Chain A
Amino acid sequence: MKLLNLLNANIRKEYIELKRYLPNTIAMLLTFYIIFLAMFAGIQVIGDPTTQDMNIQYVIVNYIFWYLTMIVVNDIGWQLSNEATQGTLEQLGMSPMGIWRIMAARLVSSTLVHILIIIGLLYLSMATTGQWLNIDVITLIPIFILTLISMFGLGFIIAGITVILKQIQAFLQILQFILAALAFVPLSVAPFLAFFPIVKGVDLVRQVMIDGASITQIGYSDFLILGFNAIIYFFIGLSIFLYCERVAMKKGLLAHY
């Protein structure tokens, strides 16, 4: 029950801040849409006409997935960095729920709130391009959940580094390009990337949304890799975060900026 109250409080905060700073939210979404339009125009102008439809479909899926990854992984770093500047990080550190549970609640709540925006953006992108993708909810949900868990692991790593270093804005700028590379890279080019976070997930999403694969057509081995990635990255991420928290408490870094 306490965990539910914690999650509820964080979802509410996320929603309030998005609503209260509506012009900022709108500007963020407009930026997303304008960049998408630029990519769409680029494919139409300089792309190969024979593979144009396929390329547009790839861009829609990859770009939407990249946005989701940025929200989950990058945003937690920005949030913590801001909290350290504001002075609220110490208050989080004094919660009997533990900072890691609050961070987990933040990751889940920002995902839940932004997932609605992402669905809207997905349909807007499809309507703009006239490319309607296969939205097989039953197949997509388990892939999404398992991929999100590995993303949360990455989020914990970023949160842990932020707790220690605080000034990681430059790193976060670079990270968004690393995340873009992971979201856009086709698995066929480098199969070993299946064990990298999110790569297998976005590949399976492409199979479902572009190639029309259903849950029965996706092999157990694919789900096994997804599940393995989810457990490993979440465990590694949480362990790194808890270690960083211990270091911060030993060196007194929770309040310093």
Chain B
Amino acid sequence: MEPIVKVRNVEKAYRKRKSKEMIQAVNSISFDVYKGEIVGLLGPNGAGKTTTIKMICGLLKPDSGSISINSIDTDSHRLKALTHISAVLEGNRNLYWRLSVRENMEYFAGNRGISRKEVAPLINDLLDKFHLKSKEHELVNRLSRGMQQKLAIAVAMLAESDVILLDEPTLGLDVETGYEVRTILKNIVKEYNRTIIISSHDMDVIQDICERTIIINHGSIVTDDRVENLLKLFEVRSYTVSLGGLLSSMQQQLLTQKFPNHTYVSDSYQSTLEIDLLKSEEIYDLFDILKLQATPVESIDRQTVNFEQIFMKIVKGEKTHEVAQSS
């Protein structure tokens, strides 16, 4: 199957305004997104997520590499490629606050060359689906942030484009509205068969709605895998070992050599060890260390990791996931 978004060896560097120093924002990244997928783009601040998103939606020209949407090159056929893509980049700031909900929708449709008459049924449908019908004549500056965010997504839907890019769609929303937005996004894919690429800091959002996650750090892709795979992988490898005694200094030294990322917490009589195993066989190495002083083991629990922990582990120790995948 041909990917709907194809990113190949894309690079982008900026020159800092004051120091004139070049900053490599995106460093030769490549990935594909297929029709109907919801892909999460994750990364710490300054990782290159927004730059990547802006290059995909044609607002930023890559220094090298290529991006195609529906097999249309965004560099040589930018305007044609834009017919297949829409985006919400700055949430509620992407709207005209002096216009009403309906007027905003009509204006943005008009800017894509769609007439009011032609777009009216779709606007009515979206107002219903996004629970904005009762506010259609309300000025945007009088809406809550959540409603503005929903409207921004509804506006992106008007283009009937195959791909929708969302930069931080739940930023600043209360729990209830955030949940509503998540439900809306899931429905967009299910009901309208659209492809969504989301950049977010909210791990719950990514875990809840994305099938696949691309983690970017320092402008490079650190991992690209299905969310469920990442969860399974890290769940298997993270253990909490409760010990009925304390580890000797020699044992602690060996642990540090063998498992550099372990955490050891002790009180007067007992201790707890948190450990990540790169390969399941490594558990025997742990037992060997414990056996040296016959340290009693009270329990071994597999840790339930959430997506936030996985993200932190991957971003902090980038090679960990690659090794784990190969094992």
Contact = CB atoms under 8 A, between A and B. Distances in A.
Interface stretch (B1-9, B81-89, B314-322): B81-89
B113 A96 contact: yes
Interface in B79-136: 79-80, 82-83, 85-87, 89-90, 93-99, 103, 106-116, 118
Contacts of A251: 14
A176 B226 CA distance: 58
Interface stretch (A8-16, A153-161, A179-187): A8-16
Given A87-B94, A97-B79, A13 B59 contact: no
Nearest to B110: A9
Contact of B106 (A12, A96, A246, A255): A12
B93 A17 contact: no
B95 A88 contact: yes
A94 B103 contact: no
B51 interface: yes
A62 to B, nearest CB: 32
B93 A21 contact: no
Interface in A78-97: 86-88, 90-97
B107 A250 contact: no
Nearest to A2: B113
Interface in A89-107: 90-98, 102
A5 interface: yes
B205 interface: no
B82 A96 contact: yes
Contacts of A165: none
Contact of B94 (A2, A20, A90, A98): A90
B14 A252 contact: yes
B61 A250 contact: yes
B54 A91 contact: no
Contact of B93 (A9, A86, A102): A86
Nearest to A8: B110
A94 B84 CA distance: 11
A6 interface: yes
B44 interface: no
A3 interface: yes
Contacts of A96: 79-80, 82-83, 112-113
A93 B14 CA distance: 20
Contacts of A1: 113, 115
A124 interface: no
A160 B25 CA distance: 26
A248 to B, nearest CB: 9
B65 interface: no
Contacts of A102: 111
Interface residues of B, number: 38
Contacts of A246: 61
A252 B54 CA distance: 9
A61 interface: no
Given A8-B110, A86-B96, A96-B83, A16 B103 contact: yes
B60 interface: yes
A95 B112 contact: yes
B178 interface: no
B110 A94 contact: no
A249 B113 contact: no
Given A9-B106, A21-B98, A88-B95, A95 B90 contact: no
B93 A88 contact: yes
Nearest to B84: A96
B107 A90 contact: no
Contacts of B245: none
B59 A249 contact: yes
A87 B54 CA distance: 14
B57 interface: yes
B110 A6 contact: yes
B36 interface: no
Interface in A217-252: 246, 249-252
B59 A90 contact: yes
Given A87-B93, A98-B79, A249-B59, A3 B113 contact: yes
Interface of A: 1-3, 5-6, 8-10, 12-13, 16-17, 20-21, 86-88, 90-98, 102, 246, 249-252, 254-255
Interface of B: 14, 51, 54, 57-61, 79-80, 82-83, 85-87, 89-90, 93-99, 103, 106-116, 118, 155
12 contacts: A2-B113, A5-B118, A6-B111, A13-B107, A88-B95, A94-B86, A95-B112, A96-B80, A96-B112, A98-B79, A246-B61, A250-B60
Given A87-B89, A246-B61, 6 more contacts: A9-B110, A13-B103, A94-B87, A97-B79, A251-B14, A252-B59
